[in-house]
Homo-oligomer: A and B are copies of this chain.
């Protein structure tokens, strides 16, 4: 794809994010996407043939970007604890904006569309976290913890808080207490 095409594609993904966060998946139409992107139908269809294709591309970009960030930081020998603090901080910040969550859209998408995209992206996230924990353990920064248990705790407590912050009013300290508890396990600090 040309640089210009790539740029247009990016701007479509950026603009449609809010649509899916706000409306879920089912209620978003290609017409909505045309509106938020200020594009003609023809212009939009030359990039994406359906909201499903667009939504998958959006999820893939997010997941791959995150995984790449981790990889780069590890390659640059950034301490595991710095990478961890950084990502926990970002996750805690996301929690402040429940309206930006794609949870609902992902859920609806999975109910409607028979696709392995969620499985695939979930595996990428799992792998990313596993690598960070193993990197920290090898460095001697992290305790020799049960890696699978902690990775699953991080992934699913994040999803649980993200979802529930749209159901009840959720204080930032809720997710913070979870990340602090995980840090205690990883760093082997005195139990409080």
> Which chain B residue has the least Cβ–Cβ distance from A154?
B157
Answer whether residue A118 sits at the interface, using C-beta atoms and an 8 A cutoff.
Answer: yes
Cβ-neighbour of A160 out of B160, B166, B169 (below 8 A) = B160
Cβ-neighbour of A119 out of B107, B168, B175, B182 (below 8 A) = B168
Docked-complex contact B192 and A146, CB < 8 angstroms: yes
Interface residues of A in 52-96 (CB under 8 A from B): none
> Which chain B residue has the least Cβ–Cβ distance from A110?
B167
Answer whether residue A13 sits at the interface, using C-beta atoms and an 8 A cutoff.
Answer: no
Question: Closest CB of chain B to A94's CB: distance in Å?
Answer: 14
Q: How many copies of this kind of chain does the complex include? A: 2
Docked-complex contact B160 and A155, CB < 8 angstroms: yes
Q: Report A161-181 CB contacts with B as 1/0, cut-off 8 Å.
A: 111101111000111011011
Interface residues of A in 132-169 (CB under 8 A from B): 143-146, 148-150, 152-153, 155-164, 166-169
Answer whether residue A28 sits at the interface, using C-beta atoms and an 8 A cutoff.
Answer: no
Q: Which of A145, A148, A181 has the most CB of B within 10 A?
A: A181
Answer whether residue A34 sits at the interface, using C-beta atoms and an 8 A cutoff.
Answer: no
Q: Which 4 residue pairs are nearest across A and B when measured between Cβ atoms? A: A149-B181, A156-B160, A160-B160, A159-B160
